[in-house]
Amino acid sequence: MRRLRPAVAALCLATMGLTACGQETPEATPEPTITSATPSATPTAKKSRDPLADAVEDLAKDMTPSAESTTDAPDPEVSTKDVETNYGLKDPTYGSDISWPQCPKGAGSVKGREGLGMPMPKKEWKFVVIGLTNGPAMTQNPCLADQLAWAKKNKVLVSAYAVATYPSDDQLAQFGTTGPYDASTTEGKLSNWGYAQGVFNIKTLQDVNLPVPALWIDVEPVPSPPLVAWSKDTAANALVVQGISRAYREADYRIGIYSTPNLWRTVVGKLRLGYPEWRAAGPTSEKEAVRRCRGESIQGGQAVLGQWVEDRRDRNVTCPYQVGQLANWFILL
């Protein structure tokens, strides 16, 4: 089980009643800063429109190549020294990601996020990234235990992700006042909210005994309802993401980012964290997913995985030269 530092443990006990939060670890590196407008705590929803049309439009923008590419840049988060094994796999290796949509139809307690009965990954695929939440933060994937049992039975490598979400007024009042940031300011409350959802996700891993080495932060616009829409203030949104990141770092998790360049900019603006990246290509093709491995970075990090949607499944592929790094992200149960 990973160790939690005092600030994490305090938040566990004071705000969520989370127990078994672990022991202290050394101080983490300072958090990256952002330069943008003063954050606002008022969540504002996107104008009503067909969500599919929005998604297609965003993906289309990401199809345009950019002069920026950081795929070949050295990555401080992933070094060859960290490699334990590639589990005997070769480049490229294929996998998938699953969450509440793969739960049985109607499963779950979040309205609008009930299970859809989507197909599970093909058995020949070698890894899976499992979503921890039922959509919004502070909720748990209703069939997480079953999905882990499936992964263990099929001897599939496992990693984990969680969607970052903006707080409702009630959530900000409940979770924004406790944590490592100054709760007397709006900025501090937003950061504490992010930190709290990071701690919640870590507690979820402990609850299901899933000792993954890494956690992926999924950053993208979300439907409202059932989730709270991101603020129009990208600096405010960035504070939430940074709060999540801090919780993960303090618990010694490696951190990755799932998004696209356009979706990232839409939510958090110019925030640059430099974490390794899981790059989405939407309903396109393996060719496009691999192209994005070598394309524009999301927030200054190296590409680890590419994702595309095909045949009602999220498909993933290791980016070039990354198969040897799988032990940094996945565990065999």
Query: Closest by alpha carbon to 281, among 52, 50, 53, 60?
Result: 60
Contacts of 179 (CB under 8 A, 6+ apart): 7, 11, 15, 188, 191, 192, 195, 196, 243
- Tell me: the pLDDT tens digits for 217-248? 999 999 888 789 999 999 999 999 999 999 99
Q: What percent of the chain has pLDDT over 70?
A: 74
Question: Considering only CA atoms, which of 220, 218, 236, 204 is closest in space to residue 34?
Answer: 236
Confidence check: pLDDT of 143 > 90: yes
> Residue 4: which of 252, 233, 179 has the closest Cα?
252
Residue 36, judged by CB atoms within 10 A of its CB (0-12, 13-18, 19+), counts as middle
Q: Look up residue 23 and give its two tokens.
A: 């022991």
Domain ranges of the chain: 6-332
The answer on pLDDT for 28 being more than 50 is no
Pairing relationship of beta strands 331-332 and 157-163 according to DSSP bridges: antiparallel
Tell me what the pLDDT averaged over the chain comes to: 81
- pTM (2 decimals)? 0.77
Q: Phi/psi at 8 (nearest 5 deg)? A: -65, -45
Structure tokens at 6: 């005092």
* Separation CA 98–CA 147 (nearest Å): 8
How much is the pLDDT for 86?
65
The pLDDT assigned to 33 comes to: 37
Query: So what's the pLDDT on residue 224?
Result: 82
Domain at 6-332, CATH homologous superfamily: Glycosidases (3.20.20.80)
Question: How many Å apart are CA 197 and CA 228, to the nearest integer?
Answer: 14
SS3 readout for the chain = CCCCCHHHHHHHHHHHCCCCCCCCCCCCCCCCCCCCCCCCCCCCCCCCCCHHHHHHHHHHHHCCCCCCCCCCCCCCCCCHHHCCCCCCCCCCCEEEEECHHHCCCCCCCCCCCCCCCCCCCCCCCCEEEEECCCCCCCCCCCCHHHHHHHHHHCCCEEEEEEECCCCCHHHHHHHCCCCCCCCCCHHHHHHHHHHHHHHHHHHHHHHCCCCCCEEEEECCCCCCCCCCCCCCCHHHHHHHHHHHHHHHHHCCCEEEEEECHHHHHHHHCCCCCCCCEEEECCCCCHHHHHHHHCCCCCCCCCEEEEEEEECCEEEEEECCCCHHHHHHCCEEC
What is the per-residue pLDDT across 100-117, written as a single tens digit (0 to 9) for each? 999 998 888 788 888 888
